[in-house]
Amino acid sequence: MIGIIDYNAGNLKSVESALRFIDTEFIISKKPKDLEKCDKIIFPGVGDAKFAMEQLNKTGFDLFLKNFVAQNKPLLGICLGSQIIFEHSEEGDVKCLGLIKGNIRHIKNVLPKNHEVKIPHMGWNNIYFTKITSNIFKDIKESSDFYFVHSYLIVPQDMNVVCTYTKYGGINIPAGIKSGNINALQFHPEKSGDLGLKVLQNFCKNYL
């Protein structure tokens, strides 16, 4: 069974529709106890990192996620959910979950000098693979397009956790993270058409 965390900061309707389309059983809950027996967890998110962390701490999902990962069960973070699994975010200057070492920075703060780009980074962009592989990208071809909406980016302490990236403003932006039983996507698979559905299907039905 797939569990989806509802912490008042997730784009749940789109994720729910996508999972129904690929015929996947799931449960959505605001209570950690309801998701304890799930085999895999999807951790979506949109909006502000500080607000999201306040909600996670308030509901107990912060400890739930740490315990879930410690049990070696698969976790998929999406967009904001891909960011606050790291240690700290510049958005609200907030301490995050710390499931993976690294920080979240505003895109403008990591751009080369004199580079100006539109913020947020929004729209369809190609992704490119690194030497790190994840089964959630099975049958996804190099340069495939996915849909992004974000102003902050992932800066891992160990770049070897980056399995896919996209190019924007003269820099490589991590698009997919793989660290042990954690996968995380900066783009929105639930808004990325057939290829996004394929990524979700790979996680829900094929990923161990």
Catalytic positions are 79, 188, 190
Q: Do the Cβ atoms of 34 and 1 come closer than 8 Å?
A: no
Q: How far apart are CA 197 and CA 182, in angstroms?
A: 19
> In this structure, what are the phi and psi dihedrals at residue 12, rounded to the nearest 5 degrees?
-70, -35
Residue with tokens 């929105």: 188
Q: Are strands 2-5 and 40-43 parallel, antiparallel or unpaired?
A: parallel
Strand partners, 154: 104
Both structure tokens of 82: 């891909």
Both structure tokens of 120: 């947020």
CA-nearest of 199, 40, 42 to 127 is 199
Q: How far apart are CA 172 and CA 129, in angstroms?
A: 11
69 sits in the region (left: phi over 0; alpha: psi -120 to 50; else beta) called alpha
Strand partners, 155: 103
